[in-house]
Amino acid sequence: MKNWKEKLFCAAACSRCRRSLKQKDERILSSYDHAAICMTCKKAEEKRPDYEEVSKRMIGQCLSEAELKQSDPESFCYNHFYAYKC
């Protein structure tokens, strides 16, 4: 995803529940739509019956795209699995 950092890295609100996110709040990228979400919404996402399938597909997509670029310097794939702060 091009320019993901500009659009998602410092999102001011969770794209799911619209809860305000401060700079110090952890957030993570959704495996479903790559949107920045709060950790509460990520936990709910992980409970969905299709989460395992969707996350595996997303991993495959990220790995193939990162391989084509020879790296993932912006950590787009990484931030689907590890929380980050602004």
* Block residue for tokens 């990162």: 66
In-domain check, residue 25: yes
pLDDT tens digits, one per residue of 19-67: 999 988 988 889 998 888 999 999 999 999 999 999 999 888 877 766 6
Where are the extended beta strands (E) located within 5-82? 27-29, 36-38
pLDDT for 63 equals 75
* Beta strands 27-29 and 36-38, pairing class: antiparallel
d(CA 55, CA 51) in angstroms, rounded, equals 6
**Predicted local distance difference test score (pLDDT) of residue 33:** 87
Structural domain boundaries, residue 51: 4-80
pTM of the model: 0.74
User: Is the residue at 34 inside a domain?
Assistant: yes
* pLDDT for 52: 95
Q: Give domain status of residue 9, yes or no.
A: yes
DSSP string, 45-60: HHTSTTHHHHHHHHHH
CA atoms of 84 and 64, how far apart (whole Å): 23
Residue 86 placed within a domain: no
In the block, residue with structure tokens 């391989």: 67
In a domain, 33, yes or no: yes
pLDDT band at 18 (very low <50, low <70, confident <90, very high): very high
pLDDT at residue 50 in the model: 97
Domain count, the chain: 1
Residue 75 lies in a domain: yes
Determine the residue type at 58.
Answer: M
